[in-house]
Amino acid sequence: MFSVHFSGSKALLLRFKQEISLQINTLVLNTSQRIQKAIEEKEIYGIDELVSAYASLLIYFNPCRISLNVLLDFLEKIKSDIMFTEQNSSLCIEIPLCYDEEFGLDLEFVCKHNNLSKEELIIFHTKPYYRVFMLGFMAGFPYLGGLDEKLFTPRLSTPRIKIEAGSVGIADKQTGIYPISSPGGWQIIARTPLQLFNQSDEKNPTLLRAGMFLKFKAISKSEFYFIEEQVCKNSYQKEIYEYKNH
């Protein structure tokens, strides 16, 4: 199911089959949930943090609270508890996007590269339910599965020094959202007025989490600024519902 590798003196890396797939990622998340349950039920002590990725799980531990042998024995023990269970339903959040040229800096290029009109690009980009496979690169940045192959576009040859928070881009076979302003090399096609990372929220600083789904919804520029104002006033009601994945 997974192999265990050392990652420094205070971390172990669990490596699953190295492929980007819903099945493998579900195994990663199931393993993370099983370990988290053990922590909450005080079945094990000394694990500080769990970081999931597409096909791996990084475990940070405190060697002063748990010995390496105890941790390795625990991981071997829980292997039999973990199995692939198809995720028939999950939370899904609707993410409004404005595809206006003011926000879509590379919209024209992506359209030309894929021989699409702007309207066709919007249809192909908003149609899928995207799975959040992992958060990474920066706090709250979602790596999404489900981009239509008609939109596959290479990264920028020269990354930009600054990309605004909320910008939505495409890089090769993936689409993602920049949660904060930062440098970046993705082809930017839209922007959301929602806040994906809130540093002041100590309990839930990120809007998204691994395992959930999201659906993009195209909005006008006037709707963008209206929602942005609501977000600033903490009055915006997010559209979150159960998505049946079958």
What pLDDT score was predicted for residue 88? Answer: 53
Query: Mean pLDDT of all residues in the chain?
Result: 92
Q: CA quadruple 239, 241, 244, 245: dihedral positive or negative?
A: positive
Residue keyed to tokens 């050392």: 6
- Give per-residue pLDDT as tens, 205-244: 899 988 899 999 999 999 999 999 999 999 999 999 988 7
CA Rg value for the chain: 20
How many Cβ atoms sit within 10 Å of the Cβ of residue 87? 19
Q: Which pairs with CB-CB distance under 8 Å and at least 24 residues apart come from 180-185?
A: 180/138, 180/139, 180/140, 182/138, 183/159, 184/159, 184/160, 185/155, 185/156, 185/158, 185/159, 185/160
* Token output for 105: 């800096």
- Give per-residue pLDDT as tens, 17-60: 988 888 888 889 989 989 999 999 999 999 999 999 889 999 99
Q: Cα(210)–Cα(195) distance, rounded to whole angstroms? A: 17
Residues 6+ apart with CB under 8 A from 167: 103, 105, 177, 178, 184, 188, 190, 191
Q: Cα(1)–Cα(83) distance, rounded to whole angstroms? A: 9
Identify the band that residue 201 occupies on the pLDDT scale cut at 50, 70 and 90.
Answer: confident
- Ordered alpha helix ranges (H), 87-220: 107-113, 118-126
Are 11 and 5 in contact, with CB atoms under 8 Å apart?
no
Rounded to 5 degrees, φ, ψ at 139 are: -60, 120
The pTM of this model reads 0.83
How many Cβ atoms sit within 10 Å of the Cβ of residue 104? 25
pLDDT for residue 246 is more than 70: no
Listed range (5-14, 83-92, 140-149, 164-173) with the worst mean pLDDT: 83-92
Average pLDDT over residues 117-142: 93
What pLDDT score was predicted for residue 105? Answer: 96
Q: Which one-letter DSSP state was computed for residue 219?
A: E
Identify the band that residue 139 occupies on the pLDDT scale cut at 50, 70 and 90.
Answer: confident
Identify the band that residue 137 occupies on the pLDDT scale cut at 50, 70 and 90.
Answer: confident
